[in-house]
Amino acid sequence: MGGLSMQRMESLSPTHEEPAVLVLVANLGSTSFKYRLYDMSDERCLARGAVDRIGDTESKCTVSIGDWSGERTMSVPDHGVAVEACLAQLTDPEHGVLKDASEVAAIGFKAVHGGRMSGVFRVNAEVLDAMAEMNAAAPAHNPPYIAAMKAMQQRFVDLPLVAAFETDFHQTIPAARKEYAIPRDWANEFHIRKWGFHGASHRYIATRSAELLGRDDARVISCHLGGSSSITAIRNRQSVMTTMGMTPQTGLPQNNRVGDFDPFALPLILQRTGMTLDEALAHLASQGGLLGLSGRSGDIRDVEEAAADGDAGSQLALDVYVEEIRRHLGGMIVALGGADAIVFTAGIGENDDLIRGRVCEGLEELGIVVDPDANKSLKGESTFHAESSRTQLWVIPTNEEIIVARQTVSVLQQA
């Protein structure tokens, strides 16, 4: 893949004795493809990259290997071509880390919704059919994954593909917390339940927090706050409650997705606007959330800046977002019977001290006490609770990709 402004690394050969097991982890959006290449013999990340604006004539392809990085603009019409562009980057004779794509043991996909198939599976016709059944529930996620998986099956026949569904981590949630009060035949026939998402991120927090706290039985509340947000209650490293439901559209307000919403408001919207149902749902999925409330932006940085300048809509957006987080946080504290740690992760959770501070404000009676200075100054993995706090407050950068890589290796070992 010519044109990359990147220096050659002297060596990427492993310094350990274990043979390399190379796993490529793929994270797809509707118009994006992000990847990381891991050597799973010691879990080193050898390379990472992304393709943005898929479908445009000028898609942006980036790659990073250690301290070296490169960028190129090219036409990437679909996700299948994006995967090929990624492999071309990794096998580039001047800059790449692979001699041939056959060195990759498998591609692990951070898949979203498999409905009746919730777990980690080798991609086959049954997996693809199960995903297609859920297209209506995850229209921005499932179709691109299906298209990319089919393209890879055709172009790399002998390369194993693994789907690690985000719903997998939440299979341990008790029935009373994952069933809707709907007719049972609907629930059973159409697989309608609170599936939960962001599973790889919450699983990573469950694993890492247990290591940091030195105990597997800790009661942890994982707050994955970003462009897409969800909160999960964790006990014994297992999910016992989460905010997202049947689809990734539900739960907390997202950057431009509505979050929890009364479906009986839809008939009124259709009547007053003249929209079709599909049009109204698309509007809720693209013009809701922080964008809808603020009327300005779905990016919380823009919203905070506008609120600081006195914009009432932006202040309302922040207030609603914080109050929804606090509402669900309270429910999870009750479900767990207390919390040993509250963990903030993802783009907002890791970087926004204002949101962290407001979420934890006034909770001293619950044993949650913030150290304001630590909250404002922390970088990376760190605590920000006061000495008097019974509940530890952490920021832990998430690593969804290493979770998918581990799951992919596990599937390969079972074959």
Domain count for the chain: 2
Can you give the pLDDT at residue 387?
96
- Phi–psi pair at 75, nearest 5 degrees: -85, 120
Tell whether 43 is covered by a domain: yes
Tell whether 312 is covered by a domain: yes
The answer to whether the annotation marks 348 as part of a ligand binding site is yes
Q: Do 140 and 220 have their domain in common? A: no
- Domain stops at, among 165, 181, 196: 165
Q: Do 243 and 113 have their domain in common? A: no
**Residue 7 clears pLDDT 70, i.e. is over it:** no
Q: Do 222 and 157 have their domain in common? A: no
Could you report the per-residue pLDDT of 228-278, keeping only the tens digit for each?
999 999 999 999 999 999 999 999 999 999 999 999 999 999 999 999 999
Q: What residue numbers bound the domain in which 26 lies?
A: 22-165
Q: Do 273 and 392 have their domain in common? A: yes
Q: Do 142 and 244 have their domain in common? A: no
Token pair 């609603």: residue:
320
Cβ 364 vs Cβ 391: under 8 Å: no
The overall pTM is greater than 0.75: yes
Q: Do 142 and 221 have their domain in common? A: no
Nearest to 208 by CA among 374, 36, 343: 343
Can you give the pLDDT at residue 30?
66
Beta bridge partners of 399: none
Tell whether 394 is covered by a domain: yes
H or E segment and range at residue 233: strand 230-235
Q: Do 271 and 336 have their domain in common? A: yes
Tell whether 54 is covered by a domain: yes
Q: Do 239 and 387 have their domain in common? A: yes
Tell whether 81 is covered by a domain: yes
Tell whether 97 is covered by a domain: yes
Can you give the pLDDT at residue 415?
66
Q: Do 160 and 242 have their domain in common? A: no
The answer to whether the annotation marks 311 as part of a ligand binding site is no
The answer to whether the annotation marks 400 as part of a ligand binding site is yes
The answer to whether the annotation marks 34 as part of a ligand binding site is yes
42-56, 106-120, 298-312: which range is least confident on average?
42-56
- Dump strand ranges (E) for 29-160: 32-39, 44-52, 59-65, 68-74, 104-109, 120-122
Q: Around 241, how many Cα atoms within 13 Å sit in the side-chain half-sphere?
A: 17
Query: CB atoms < 10 A from the CB of 2, how many?
Result: 9
Kindly report the three-state secondary structure assignment for every residue of 159-227.
Answer: CCEEEECCCHHHHHCCHHHCCCCCCHHHHHHHCCCCCCCCHHHHHHHHHHHHHHHCCCCCEEEEEECCC
The answer to whether the annotation marks 44 as part of a ligand binding site is no
Cβ 25 vs Cβ 38: under 8 Å: yes
pLDDT class of 17 with cuts at 50, 70, 90: low
**Residue 12 clears pLDDT 80, i.e. is over it:** no
The answer to whether the annotation marks 215 as part of a ligand binding site is no
The answer to whether the annotation marks 178 as part of a ligand binding site is no
The answer to whether the annotation marks 299 as part of a ligand binding site is yes
Could you report the per-residue pLDDT of 161-218, keeping only the tens digit for each?
999 999 999 999 999 999 999 999 999 999 999 999 999 999 999 999 999 999 999 9
- Considering 71-75, 101-105, 166-170, the range whose residues carry the highest mean pLDDT is 166-170
Q: Work out the average pLDDT over 31-53.
A: 90
The answer to whether the annotation marks 300 as part of a ligand binding site is yes
Q: Do 147 and 260 have their domain in common? A: no
Can you give the pLDDT at residue 156?
82
**Residue 316 clears pLDDT 80, i.e. is over it:** yes
Could you report the per-residue pLDDT of 152-165, keeping only the tens digit for each?
888 788 889 999 99
Can you give the pLDDT at residue 80?
77
Q: Do 354 and 266 have their domain in common? A: yes
Look up the CATH number of the domain holding residue 30: 3.30.420.40
Q: What is the DSSP letter of 9?
A: P
Which of 399 and 11 is assigned the larger pLDDT? Answer: 399
Tell whether 193 is covered by a domain: no
Can you give the pLDDT at residue 28?
82
Can you give the pLDDT at residue 323?
98
The string of DSSP letters for 327-366 reads HHHHHHHHHHTS-SEEEEEHHHHHH-HHHHHHHHTT-GGG
Q: Work out the average pLDDT over 350-371.
A: 97
- Determine the residue type at 97: V
Q: Residues 6 or more apart from 127 whose CB is under 8 A from it?
A: 114, 117, 121, 163
Can you give the pLDDT at residue 399?
95
- What dihedral do alpha carbons 167, 239, 27, 102 form, nearest 10°? -90
- Phi–psi pair at 245, nearest 5 degrees: -110, -120
**Residue 299 clears pLDDT 70, i.e. is over it:** yes
The answer to whether the annotation marks 350 as part of a ligand binding site is yes
Tell whether 194 is covered by a domain: no
Give CA angle at 231 (169, 408), nearest 5°.
25
The answer to whether the annotation marks 379 as part of a ligand binding site is no
Which of 52 and 373 is assigned the larger pLDDT? Answer: 373
Q: Do 127 and 265 have their domain in common? A: no
